[in-house]
Structure 1
Amino acid sequence: MSEHTQLIDALNVRITTRHYDADPIDPDAARQLESSIDAINTLSGLDIQLVQGHPDVFAADNASGHLANASNYLALVGPKGDPESLEKAGFYGQRLVLTATLYGLGTGWVAGSWDADRARSHCRVTGSQDLYLAITIGPSKTEAAYGSQDYEALCERQRTHRPSKTYEELTAPMEGDARDQAPDWFKAGVEAAAKAPSAMNGQPVLFAYDPVRSDAVARLDPAVSTGSLVDLGIAKLNFQIGAGAGTWLWGDGGRFIRS
């Protein structure tokens, strides 16, 4: 893959990886990733862990061809029964996904393609914690196939990789005039959120610009049954990167405070 140095670059080229190389993660990349994980855990109160060399967690899907050579994962662990931490797992998990992209690694959010009990046996989960879900990670056959392509070609690959909702669909709560007159930072945030992964590609997060408060609001779309707080967190992270300076308040209906 071409070298990228900004999170927005990673956001613009990253696609879900299902086929991995059998080689282990490069030790230098693993150390850098562990450093990023430590910083995020301190900031978020989560206990995200990099677990390597356990293909048994993905044995069924590796055997079926849904995945290939999946053996490493980010275990998203956090406080049990805490909705805010679920959203943070999406937000900060996506931050690590984009960081891994900058290190040349493939990633894939996992909901059903894993053995959660086996995954728990390979990571730390205390009695007060849950293993929310996992993110496969590793050297990627998919990315290796595009290693000679430039940034623009990789962006085009992502654009055509899967269907995406339009700006109008993702801002459905807004009236037409308000939608058109929203500031550029809001439009850029929605454009970035449109590239966020989500369960079953449901893209269940809707955004609205509030002209009175000059901020934005994100809500789960009740019409999308697959939507979750993890999806909300992922979409918020992408929006924040696209919009630039600003901070989200947690929760369904949380506001993006532009700074």
Structure 2
Amino acid sequence: MAEHTQLIDAINIRTAVRAFDDEPIDDDMARQLTMTLEPINLLADLSIQLVRDQPRVFTEANASGHLTNAANYLAIVGPKNDDEAKERAGFYAERVVLTATLRGLGTLWVAGSWDREQAARHCRVSDSQELYLGVVIGYPANHLEYQAKSYEQLTEVQRTHRTSKTFEQFTPTMSDEERQSAPDWFKAGVEAAMKAPSAMNRQPITFSYNAADDTAAAHIDPTAGDEHWALNDLGIAKLHFQIGAGQGKWAWGDGGLFIHR
């Protein structure tokens, strides 16, 4: 893994990790993650916080076997009643997830598999803020064996670890001819977004390409049944698309445009 250090590499090997080793995140790794969080929080106007060694937050999930040895998390905190902030939270917190992936850590976005009230006791949430979601983080089970795998082995694990919607399902408003004639950057962006996590694993985001002005658009699929977390999922999918497409920038919001540079 050491020779692969780009975010697109992280996209290609990231999987949802539910079983963790009981080895704690050490101070050095925590400092590295904090150094990543500080500029991202400043840029995003969020308060993403690393919380370590709080297994009580995951007591029920660990006891049921849904999770194993979950004890650390990223608390994703932002302004109350702010839809754009929720989208930014998905975009920028996933940036931290990908960085953690490159450092050999496992992650899992959680909406319901934790005790939210317990989680809020261990992070800073002001009266004007709320705790949106969490990301479980830690060393994957048998992590030394995991870290010894080649990049090619890890990409194969990523490819087969879950089912995914097809390219056609991610671009439902486009015809086969439009998909075929779309530029390579759009195709690469959608393929990266197909590997993105979503809070309820429903992949509720779709994309379209407009040849007239050479832009892409991202949309929340109202039929996916995941309206509560859709804005967060929109941000995650937009980040994956942007990394896959290369240089370019999104406008925030459902239907926001991506301009490739």
The alignment's TM-score, normalised by the length of structure 1, stands at 0.97
Distance of 1:33 and 1:215 partners within structure 2: 34
Q: What's the counterpart of residue 26 of structure 2?
A: 26
Q: What's the counterpart of residue 8 of structure 1?
A: 8
Q: What's the counterpart of residue 258 of structure 1?
A: 260
Q: What's the counterpart of residue 93 of structure 1?
A: 93
Greater mean deviation of Cα atoms: 10-19 or 138-147: 138-147
Q: Which amino acid aligns with 1:46?
A: L
Distance of 1:147 and 1:33 partners within structure 2: 18
Alignment equivalent of 2:234, drawn from 228, 232, 235: 232
Deviation at 1:169, TM superposition (A): 1.1
Deviation at 1:198, TM superposition (A): 1.2
Deviation at 1:149, TM superposition (A): 1.9
- Give the SS at the match of 2:209: strand
Residue pair 2:140, 2:146 contacting (<8 A) in 1 also: no
Q: What's the counterpart of residue 204 of structure 1?
A: 204
Distance of 1:141 and 1:57 partners within structure 2: 19
* Aligned length in residues: 259
Distance of 1:24 and 1:152 partners within structure 2: 28
Distance of 2:145 and 2:226 partners within structure 1: 32
Deviation at 1:145, TM superposition (A): 3.8
Deviation at 1:30, TM superposition (A): 1.2
Residue pair 1:2, 1:150 contacting (<8 A) in 2 also: no
Residue pair 1:19, 1:142 contacting (<8 A) in 2 also: no
Deviations 1:98-130 (A, max 9, x none): 000011111100010000001111000000000
Greater mean deviation of Cα atoms: 170-179 or 123-132: 170-179
Deviation at 1:29, TM superposition (A): 1.7
Distance of 2:28 and 2:4 partners within structure 1: 17
Distance of 2:112 and 2:104 partners within structure 1: 25
CA RMSD, Structure 1 to Structure 2 (Å)? 1.2
Distance of 2:143 and 2:196 partners within structure 1: 18
Overall identity of the aligned pairs, in %: 59
Deviation at 1:142, TM superposition (A): 5.6
Residue pair 1:2, 1:147 contacting (<8 A) in 2 also: no
Q: What's the counterpart of residue 136 of structure 2?
A: 136
Q: What's the counterpart of residue 56 of structure 2?
A: 56
- Give the SS at the match of 2:200: helix
Q: What's the counterpart of residue 121 of structure 2?
A: 121
Distance of 1:179 and 1:246 partners within structure 2: 20
- Give the SS at the match of 2:43: helix
Q: Which amino acid aligns with 2:250?
A: W
Q: What's the counterpart of residue 184 of structure 2?
A: 184
Distance of 1:144 and 1:106 partners within structure 2: 12
Q: What's the counterpart of residue 106 of structure 2?
A: 106
Deviation at 1:11, TM superposition (A): 0.5
Q: How does 1:152-167 map to 2 (within 5 A)?
A: 152-167=152-167
Greater mean deviation of Cα atoms: 18-27 or 75-84: 18-27
Q: What's the counterpart of residue 73 of structure 2?
A: 73
The alpha-carbon distance between structure 1 residues 93 and 142, as it changes in their structure 2 partners (threshold 3 A), is: farther
- Give the SS at the match of 1:199: coil
Greater mean deviation of Cα atoms: 222-231 or 102-111: 222-231
Residue pair 1:49, 1:74 contacting (<8 A) in 2 also: yes
Residue pair 2:205, 2:220 contacting (<8 A) in 1 also: yes
The alpha-carbon distance between structure 1 residues 256 and 142, as it changes in their structure 2 partners (threshold 3 A), is: farther
- Give the SS at the match of 2:47: coil
- Is residue 251 of structure 2 the alignment partner of residue 249 of structure 1? yes
Gaps of 5+ in 2: none
Q: Which amino acid aligns with 2:248?
A: G
- Give the SS at the match of 1:222: coil
Distance of 1:240 and 1:74 partners within structure 2: 23
Deviation at 1:3, TM superposition (A): 5.0
